[in-house]
Amino acid sequence: MSEKPESYEAAVERLEQIIDRLDSGQAGLRETLELCREGRELVTYCSAELDAVSEGLEELQLDELAARLEAAPSEG
């Protein structure tokens, strides 16, 4: 998994699949190591997503959001 996951839920879903597969004991050595690497990347991504909504609730008015978007038109 080198690509960024589509969303937090997609990442969590894939992570659950990986852990289920590993728990099944059916993965060979090469697959196990590959799944562990992918799993660690997903954990890092999910952790960053959670961090992004943990830094203090911000309240904006609609026009403040609009001003912010105008300042950074490439965003979104």
Which residues lie near other proteins (CB under 8 A)? Answer: 7-9, 12, 15, 18-19, 22-23, 29, 32-33, 35-36, 39-40, 43, 46-47, 49-50, 52-62, 64-66, 69, 75-76
d(CA 73, CA 76): 8
d(CA 20, CA 5): 19
Shortest distance, position 4 Cβ to other proteins, whole Å: 14
Q: Phi and psi dihedrals of 25, rounded to 5?
A: 75, 10
Q: Toward other proteins, which CB reaches closer, 2 or 56?
A: 56
Q: Toward other proteins, which CB reaches closer, 3 or 75?
A: 75
d(CA 47, CA 40): 10
